[in-house]
Amino acid sequence: MCVAVILPTCHNAACFVFVAAAWSIMQSRTGHVPGGEAQIEDHAYPADELMPLTCRGRVRGLEPSRGDVDDALGKFSLTLIDTLDTLVLLNKTTEFEAAVRRVLSDVRLDNDIVVSVFETNIRVLGGLLGGHSMAMMLKDGGQHMLWYQDELLHMAKDLGLRLLPAFNTSSGLPYPRVNLKYGVRGPETRTGTETDTCTACAGTIILEFAALSRFTGDPVFEAHARRALDFLWEKRQRNSNLVGTTINIHSGEWVRRDSGVGAGIDSYYEYLLKAYILLGDDLFLQRFNIHYASIMKYISQPPLLLDVHIHKPLLPARTWMDSLLAFFPGLQVLKGDIRPAIETHEMLYQVTKKHNFLPEAFTTDFRVHWAQHPLRPEFAESTYFLYKATGDPYYLEVGRTVLDNLNRFARVPCGFAAMKDVRTGSHEDRMDSFFLAEMFKYLFLLFADTEDLPFDVEDYIFTTEAHLLPLSLSMAPTSSAATNATVSEELDDSNFDWTCPNTRLLFPDPAFPRNLREPIRSAVDKSCPRPAPYREPGMGRPPLRAQDFMANNPEHLELLRRMGVSLIHLKDGRVQLVQHATQAVSAVAAEDGMRFMQEMMELSSQQQKEQLPPRAIQIVSHPFFGRVVLTAGPAQFGTDLSKSVRGFVTVAEPYSGCSELANAEYVQGRIALLQRGQCMFAEKARHIQKAGAIGGIVIDDNEGSSSDTAPLFQMAGDGRNTDDITLPLLFLFHKEGNILMEALKEYKEVEVLLSDKARDRAAIFKGKPLPGSLIESSMDAQEKEDCSTEGTSPANSGPIDQSQMSTMETDESAPEEVNPSEESVSPPDEEVSPSDEVSPSEEGASPSETHHEPKVERDSEKREEPEGDTDLSSQSVDELLADWREDLEAFQQMEKDEL
């Protein structure tokens, strides 16, 4: 590989502690559990994933659906297969041998279940091939796996044959989903009806399929993967040499024309370069270099990486970046382009330090756009490759930061829990298989001494799931059938970069990487500025901005009229803004109006979120010790939680809290647990306050409800003055409430902390040793000032999992009909209900077709569906509308991508 061979060393004890913790989890998963370790096998095996908060396995169909993210689960012990080669890397050969035997005896691949072709390929097929590679390496060593007769390879071929029906399209692009038992047979097998797939989904096949062909001698797999890549190459935009995010698998038309290096495209670029490294085919390098030149010309704006339109690459497609692009600096290291890799990585590190983790999406001025963090490994991956390329110990400190944050904020009694919201520190009951397959692998490699590695990793290529495939496959015999689709294309030597960089010459001065990082180190600390006001060319003053608008200002109303925006007074006293672009006095004024409408939506959403942030309930008693954080909804009344309230919980009698409590003596001085329903929230609060409670937690009575799938809301008063309520009252959906109730049932005495956001464990225990801490030295609590949030976390269950901001809900009014050339929004002042954003989960909906008004929820009322983000960027009205609709659909499509 084109990187310096500089093996990392473990410079501090923390890395060994982390590796020990990692190994204890995997030991538990494979059934070899030392005394006292968490028996994860008892909770999860043979399920596909571990649910670390509830300490049980996630079995598809038995847990509430999370939408497309569940397509990774196929009832084939996903986590076990995905982490086989991790065991070998950790030099746990005995345990690897036992794990392989378990896969061979227990795993079935003929399940009647629909799975993602992309996820199954990179996680399961890649896991089996990585396991086979490791088994053969150990067998050749003559001490382990001597009984092995290619059993994992046989399973891999069986799985490959089950994926092949997805490629039965006229274009050669695969369907996004396939039934493991029945293939693609139409609606009766719940497959074959899709028309679109993401670029990465179709273009991230070649490594696994080519390896399978070369291991088995059957060229059919490599041939299909090459055909899909050929088609994507042919459909690139010829002027910009960029590809879009989503493509029609039948016609080859681009469904989404935005282009970047993040979600939906990322691993397509990765696999072009790595296919050249693994297979030695110059064609892949040529294509990668052509794409890369365009990426650096249009998308890379160091240190940022911004999406653009493939037909208008100078026009930005959005103002935010997603976390999956964090892999790109690592790919740039393989390419040998170190300078921009250092710059982008430093920007990502500063965002990580600001928020403890890299949010799923963040804006160009580093505000949180989507607040989840499912423990993604891409940033650790790039950190590892940059350390290998530069030898700069700075990247060991970066790795230490990642390690510390995982231990401080994500570790829970049964594993590591994904972050539901990086701002509050709340958790989600989720631990994806890639956490063990990739995160542990890259962090171990970053800190490991040479003698810690059982083999030379330079002899292998890492797949996008960090599975290890031997570079010797380039010498394996391959049939001409695997390459006959591409031989007709002539190679242009001018598009080749034949040499690998010599990092000794690149960095003669050890300070060189630091000099590149220095200008970026203060970027995030100085973040959150408002963009410079847009000024119409040739005009002496800027157009009206949403933050300055006053509905009773005649001058402002005239400016609205010129922009084609009208103000409508509704019967309930509210007002609504509607834009008719065709009624603007000019095209420029229409663009100003569109910009004003978008600003108004963002301002309304921003004000709403600032008023109604989510709250945190942190379990601080044994054995949780602050490691479990539940996302809670606030109330319109009661105590401000800027100062947290700590106490033991007890169930109120009656549980509804709708009459004076019969167990007041037990409730006194404690936090009362209440069931939703039968009376108003404020009435419940008054009854527990009278009994002497110091706080209350209302638990939803709707079984199965969860903040994963429903938006948080603000509990309303009862129409009376609520100044008499002086205790805090928080709301938990049923799933989160059940975690608390089960803890109370098992441990009898459960202490919680009610606060505006999760507190650092060191702060909770005030310098005392942290029970169960992986790193013995406790760290001082550091309150980090967060930036205002630009966008909410979309609340449609998906791979980017939910971190719902509270949705303020007031009386809802019927939306007016708006034709496609119009946009409507309500301004935030003068008793105006701010318009919430349209959910990307509402397929086909656009801002002009769907209009929601939020409302305050009263006890026992229905909750509205979650709502998502919008974004705006364009130079003409028609383009603006089209681009806006594309961005509204972006999150839904990201769920169908590789996330």
Q: Give the pLDDT mean for 677-693.
A: 92
Residues 663 and 634 in one domain: yes
Position 725 in a domain: yes
Q: Give the pLDDT mean for 162-180.
A: 97
Residues 687 and 751 in one domain: yes
pLDDT score for 41: 56
Residues 650 and 680 in one domain: yes
Task: Give CA–CA dist 78/731, Å, rounded.
Answer: 34
Task: Give CA–CA dist 656/640, Å, rounded.
Answer: 24
Q: Give the pLDDT mean for 666-679.
A: 93
pLDDT score for 771: 55
pLDDT score for 510: 64
pLDDT score for 758: 87
* CATH code of 758's domain: 3.50.30.30
Residues 572 and 696 in one domain: no
Position 234 in a domain: no
Q: Of residues 488 and 39, which shows the higher confidence score? A: 488
| Domain C-terminal end among 716, 739, 764 | 764
Q: Give the pLDDT mean for 106-115.
A: 96
Reported as a single tens digit per residue, the pLDDT across 120-133 is 999 999 999 999 99
- CA distances to 240, 447, 762, 772, 775 from 778, in Å: 52, 21, 6, 11, 7
pLDDT score for 14: 35
- List, as residue ranges, the binding site: 464
Q: Give the pLDDT mean for 432-437.
A: 97
Residues 605 and 660 in one domain: no
| Domain C-terminal end among 570, 586, 610 | 610
Residues 599 and 662 in one domain: no
Position 523 in a domain: no
Residue 134 pLDDT greater than 90, yes or no: yes
Q: Give the pLDDT mean for 584-607.
A: 74
For tokens 């007769």, the residue is 149
Q: What share of the chain is helix, strand, coil (3-state, %, to 5)?
A: 40, 15, 45
Q: Of residues 781 and 389, which shows the higher confidence score? A: 389
Q: Give the pLDDT mean for 421-439.
A: 94
Catalytic residues: 119, 266, 360, 378
pLDDT score for 532: 42
What is the domain range of residue 659? 615-764
Q: What percent of the chain has pLDDT over 70?
A: 72
Task: Give CA–CA dist 456/89, Å, rounded.
Answer: 10
pLDDT score for 29: 35
Residue type, 31: G
Residues 646 and 565 in one domain: no
pLDDT score for 585: 85
Position 891 in a domain: no
Q: Give the pLDDT mean for 262-284.
A: 96
Q: Of residues 78 and 185, which shows the higher confidence score? A: 78
- Least confident among 401-405, 666-670, 855-859: 855-859
Residues 687 and 584 in one domain: no
Residues 577 and 604 in one domain: yes
Residues 639 and 757 in one domain: yes
- Least confident among 259-273, 490-504, 797-811: 797-811
- List, as residue ranges, the binding site for Ca(2+): 464
- Least confident among 373-377, 540-544, 768-772, 861-865: 861-865
| Domain C-terminal end among 704, 730, 764 | 764
Position 429 in a domain: no
What are the b/e assignments for 265-285, b being 16+ CB within 10 Å?
bbbbbbbbbbbbbbbebebbb
Position 1 in a domain: no
Q: Which residue, 348, 334, 339, is CA-closest to 262?
A: 348
- Least confident among 261-275, 473-487, 621-635, 657-671: 473-487
Position 567 in a domain: yes
Q: What percent of the chain has pLDDT over 90?
A: 55
Angle at 253 between CA 249 and CA 255, to 5 degrees: 90
Residues 710 and 582 in one domain: no
Task: Give CA–CA dist 218/228, Å, rounded.
Answer: 18
Residue type, 164: L
Spatial neighbors of 215 by CB under 8 A, at least 6 apart, are: 129, 132, 153, 156, 473, 476
Position 724 in a domain: yes
Residues 587 and 649 in one domain: no
Mean pLDDT taken over the chain? 79
- CA distances to 11, 85, 386, 397, 401 from 394, in Å: 12, 28, 10, 5, 11
Reported as a single tens digit per residue, the pLDDT across 26-69 is 333 333 333 223 334 567 889 999 999 999 999 999 999 999 99
Burial class (CB in 10 A: 0-12, 13-18, 19+), 767: exposed
Highest mean pLDDT among 228-242, 466-480, 851-865, 880-894: 228-242
What is the residue-wise DSSP string for 716-762? P--SS--TT--S-EEEE-HHHHHHHHHHHHHHS--EEEEESSPPPHH
Instruction: Kindly indicate the confidence band of residue 569, based on its pLDDT and cuts at 50, 70 and 90.
Output: low
Highest mean pLDDT among 42-51, 336-345, 800-809, 887-896: 336-345
DSSP, collapsed to helix, strand or coil, labels residue 18 as helix
- Whether a cis peptide bond, with omega within 30° of 0, leads into 46 is yes
Instruction: Kindly indicate the confidence band of residue 570, based on its pLDDT and cuts at 50, 70 and 90.
Output: low
- Least confident among 23-37, 70-84, 141-155, 579-593: 23-37
For tokens 């059919």, the residue is 220
Based on the structure, what is the number of domains in the chain? 2
